Amino acid sequence: MNDKESFWSEGSFIESITPRELKEKIKTLEEDSCKDANFKCKKCNKQISSHNKNWHDEMCDDCFNMTYFPNDKE
């Protein structure tokens, strides 16, 4: 198996969460992700949705992609 196929290869985002945290995160998938969008990106302070808060390591899409997928160009 090469690095691109490895589950733990660089460029992956994996985090451990508790069952309670999982319930909260799943709830945001069922809701409108812009609801209560008064969260800020932890890197650039840009406004983010609850989806980004819970599923993108509290970062906006740009900061998340630059952090975890720096070699992926659009």
Checking if the pLDDT of 55 tops 90, the result is no
CA distance linking residue 30 with residue 74, whole number of Å: 28
Confidence at residue 3, expressed as pLDDT on a 0 to 100 scale? 52
CA distance linking residue 44 with residue 55, whole number of Å: 17
Give the tens place of pLDDT for each residue, 16-41. 889 988 888 787 766 654 555 689 99
Residue 56 belongs to what domain range? 34-68
Both structure tokens of 57: 């390591």
Residue 48 pLDDT level (bands cut at 50, 70, 90): very high
Confidence at residue 26, expressed as pLDDT on a 0 to 100 scale? 80
Q: Quick check: 57 and 15 in contact, CB under 8 A?
A: yes
In a domain, 27, yes or no: no
In a domain, 48, yes or no: yes
Q: Residue 55 corresponds to which amino acid?
A: W
Does the reported pTM lie above 0.75? no
In a domain, 7, yes or no: no
In a domain, 50, yes or no: yes
Q: For residues 49-64, give the mean pLDDT.
A: 90
